[in-house]
Amino acid sequence: MDLSELDRDSTGRCRLNSPVPAVCRKEPCILGVDEAGRGPVLGPMVYAICYCPLSRLADLEALKVADSKTLSESERDRLFVKMQEDGDFVGWALDVLSPNLISTSMLGRVKYNLNSLSHDTATGLVQFALDQGVKVAQVFVDTVGLPDTYQERLQQRFPGIEVTVKAKADALYPVVSAASICAKVARDQAVKNWHFVEKLQGLDADYGSGYPNDPKTKAWLRKHVEPVFGFPQFVRFSWRTAQSILEKEAEGVMWEDSLTGDQEGPGRITSYFSEGARVRPRLPHRKSSHAGRSRERASPAGPMLHHGAQSHD
């Protein structure tokens, strides 16, 4: 799987896809949607679709695909390779959302929460398959949020397609299991081979599972927080775990464009993102007084990520 586009720019998103099997442009197809990496504080979130003709669903089931969480890494890798080998009837596509994109979306002036980002990404992948000429007849989706609401939204968006949204769909429908394998293989590879653009002293690649409750992950975050500029782009700085470490380890900050202009001493770094913290539109490269020094504030897409205020675990 070629994730070189993510290596070149780890601030946004990238899409990968297999060639579309010719049969999928001729026969009605079933399509599954799932994600990997929704909860971790480290690394990207990956959404995936997998599809095949309804007439070949039994062949997909014969591969013994299963919920990726129940499989070992080697089993997932083997099944993904097998799906690629069966490219005459199986197709897939991925959307890799960087930690930077996730956090800046959640912390923007107009809030874009993780559920909305997830729904829109899934919808975009279904539309991508249609745009590629896949004759999608049925869609099965592992839910995010309330299944009925999500299903109604997708059904309205794709009125000519039969849509089913269920919790644990990756364990119920082989085509969703196949999508979950694609997503997990991509995320595992992205995390394992993450290209750090920041020059970190004593970089430790042993960051555990990446989930907020993992002691090894928390230790890695504490080790690699930068007092002024926060975390590297590998970190979702909008997560509560990251925010708590910033509040304890980062320097205080005084914003030049604060509401009253008479702030007494440096305040919390996350206060910059709080509602009503500013009265003027945010301008690029405004300067801040940080720990008694005037420094150029890095943009969210810069080498080191910003400190955040909203949280999600």
Closest CA to 180 of 33, 74, 58: 33
State the binding site. Answer: 34-35, 142
Strand 287-290 versus strand 253-255 pairing type: antiparallel
pLDDT-above-90 percentage for the chain: 55
Predicted pLDDT of residue 276: 44
Per-residue pLDDT, averaged over 55-76, amounts to 92
pTM over 0.85: no
Burial class (CB in 10 A: 0-12, 13-18, 19+), 272: buried
- Per-residue pLDDT band for 286 (boundaries 50, 70, 90) equals very low
State the binding site for a divalent metal cation. Answer: 34-35, 142
Range name among 84-88, 103-107, 158-162, 253-257 with the lowest pLDDT average: 253-257
Predicted pLDDT of residue 268: 56
Structure tokens at 84: 């690629």
